[in-house]
Amino acid sequence: MRKVFSWAPPSEGVLKFNVDGAARGKPGPVGIGGVLRNSEGIVLALFSKYVDCMESNEAEVVAILEAIRIFASTSFRSRLVVETWKRPSNLFDWNKKSRSSDEKRPKQKYHDIDLSFPQSLLTKTFLQGKDLKCCYRASIDGFSATSFHNNCDFKGPCVIVGYTIKSFKFGAFSPEGYRSTDDYYDTFDAFLFYWKDNIEGNKPIILPKVGGSGAALFDYARGGPQFGADGLLIGPPLAPVMGGFAGPDTNSGIGDLRQAKSRLGLSYAKREDGKESLFGDESRATLVEVEVFCSPQIASLY
């Protein structure tokens, strides 16, 4: 491994992955990214993602491992060189300490409502013990996917709570948050939850990720929250495929967070009663409210 300050092409027949990782805090929320190029400087692969909370030196190690993982998944058989960047303002601009006085960050608005779930739900998550605020309320901010992403992108890990027209209350935890990446994330840390017998005072029942960590979360700019391919979709998206847009429910309900559907068992565990939908006997539901809670402290770091 070599520390570099400017990019130089690799030798012919060799590929180079330049990677970086940075933390906002010690420890703090981390971003990693990388660019794979050949000897002619042609970009062959890119990645950029949020990877939870750690120290900066750990973030660089995670970035290196991610680059190796991506390279191993390709058909390239060339020799690989991995270089890390280290300079005051890093390659991906994640670690800026402050903004200039004439560059003001828009003030984030939060809805003044109580948490609609117990804090114990977030034990052993990055939001444990954090002060949480509601950054999105569909009945006020709008039910479109655009409204959802305008209020929820770049806020860090978050909790989504939904209410159906039948007064059924449910929710989900996203450890990655949202950034309109049109990509998916692998993790065991995401989960769904619901209240048994729909009694508010009861402790919510958690439905963990099953079937491996793959494709646990989807972050489509034209859709709302999606957990697994079919575990829970709120506002079914128009998913990007082969450079165009085609995906589930392309004729109705695109990006409308009033519409939700669920099928359990493949990506998230079935309910305690064995039912294969988060909504019980029905696979689809119409929502009257969607709330998203995040940590303003984490959101301020983006």
Task: Quick: pLDDT tens for 158-186.
Answer: 999 999 999 999 999 999 899 888 888 88
Helices of type H across the chain: 56-72, 138-141, 145-152, 296-299
Is pLDDT above 50 for 248? no
Q: Residues 54, 202: one domain?
A: no
Q: What is the pLDDT of residue 25?
A: 67
Q: Are residues 79 and 143 in the same domain?
A: no
Sign of CA dihedral 250, 251, 256, 259: negative
Q: Is residue 102 part of a domain?
A: no
Mean per-residue pLDDT, 292-298: 92
DSSP 197: G
Residue 92 lies in a domain: no
**Same domain? 146 vs 280:** yes
Phi, psi of 242 (to 5 degrees): 55, 45
Q: Within this chain, do residues 74 and 167 fall inside the same structural domain, yes or no?
A: no
pLDDT of residue 2 exceeding 80 = no
User: In this structure, is residue 202 part of a structural domain?
Assistant: yes
**Structural domain containing residue 70:** 3-85
Question: Could you tell me if residue 107 is inside a domain?
Answer: no
Instruction: Determine the straight-line distance between the first and last CA of the chain, rounded to whole angstroms.
Output: 29
Q: Do residue 265 and residue 123 come from a single domain?
A: yes
Q: Please, what sign has the CA dihedral across residues 81, 86, 90, 95? A: positive
**Can you name the residues that pair with 287 across neighbouring β-strands?**
164
CATH number at residue 53: 3.30.420.10
Residue 260: phi and psi, rounded to 5, are -145, 155
Query: ∠ CA(41), CA(47), CA(53), 5° rounding?
Result: 135
In this structure, are 153 and 203 located in the same domain?
yes
Number of domains in the chain: 2
Closest C-alpha to 57, from 3, 98, 125: 3
- Domain check: are 35 and 144 in the same one? no
Can you give the pTM of this predicted structure? 0.65
Would residue 200 count as lying in a domain? yes
The answer on 141 and 73 residing in a single domain is no
pLDDT digits (tens, 9 = 90+) for 66-106: 888 888 777 787 888 888 865 433 333 434 444 443 444 55
The more confidently predicted of residues 160 and 251 is: 160
Tell whether 232 is covered by a domain: yes
Q: Is residue 104 part of a domain?
A: no
Residues 62 and 203 in one domain: no
Digit-coded pLDDT (tens) for 227-247: 998 999 999 875 444 444 444
Same domain, 187 and 289: yes
User: Do 65 and 123 share a domain, yes or no?
Assistant: no
3-state secondary structure of 112: coil
In a domain, 90, yes or no: no
